[in-house]
Amino acid sequence: MRNNNEYGIGLKPIFDTVIFEIKKQRKKFYFFLGVAILIVFLVGYLLQLFPGYLLPDTQAGYFSGGLTFIEFLTLFSACLFFSGIICSEFDKKTGFIVFPKINKYKLILGKYLGNLILVVFIMAIYYFLLGLLGFFYYGGPINIRIFYSFGFAVLYVIALSSFVTLFSSFMKSVNVTIISTLLILLIGFTIADQIVTLIFADSFEPLYSIVYLGGLITSVLQNPFPDPRYAEVTMGPPGMGGGFTFGQWITPSIEMGIILLLVYIVVFFVLAAVLFKRRQL
Partner 1 sequence: MLENRKNWKNILITLLLLSLLGISFLNVMSLGLAQSNNYDLKLTKGTTIFSVETYDEDAWFNTVSNSLNPSHWFGGDANITGAQSKITIKGWSYTEWGTFNVISSIVLPQEQLLILYALADYGYNNTEINEYYPNTYWLWNSLQAIWPFTSNNFDEKPNTTEQNIILKDPEDYRKILDDYNKLVAQIKNDSAVPLPIKNQISNITADDLLWKLALNTFAAAEPVGNYLLTVTDALETENITASSCSLIFNRTGLNNYTVEFAYGDRGTLTSVIVKDQIDNTIYYITSINSEWIFYMILAIAVAASIGIIVVLTLRSRKIKRA
Does 200 sit near partner 1 (CB under 8 A)? no
Does 36 sit near partner 1 (CB under 8 A)? no
Mark the segment that binds partner 1 (CB under 8 A) among 5-13, 67-75, 84-92, 129-137.
129-137
Does 237 sit near partner 1 (CB under 8 A)? no
Tell me, by CB under 8 A, how many residues bind partner 1. 21
* Burial (Cβ within 10 Å: 0-12, 13-18, ≥19) of residue 14: buried
Write down the least CB distance from residue 60 to partner 1, Å.
Answer: 7
Closest CA to 210 of 173, 278, 157: 157
Contact (CB, 8 A) for 159 and 261:
yes
The residues with which 244 forms a beta bridge, in sequence order, are: 235
Does 138 sit near partner 1 (CB under 8 A)? yes
Does 136 sit near partner 1 (CB under 8 A)? yes
* Burial (Cβ within 10 Å: 0-12, 13-18, ≥19) of residue 196: middle
Cα 33 to Cα 92: distance, rounded to the nearest angstrom: 28
Residue 184 is given by DSSP the state I
Does 227 sit near partner 1 (CB under 8 A)? no
Cα 78 to Cα 34: distance, rounded to the nearest angstrom: 16
- Could you say which of 4, 5, 27, 54 contacts partner 1 (CB under 8 A)? 54
Does 30 sit near partner 1 (CB under 8 A)? no
- Could you say which of 68, 175, 194, 223 contacts partner 1 (CB under 8 A)? 223
Does 27 sit near partner 1 (CB under 8 A)? no
Q: Where do contacts with partner 1 occur on this chain (CB under 8 A)?
A: 48, 50-58, 60, 128, 132, 135-140, 143, 223
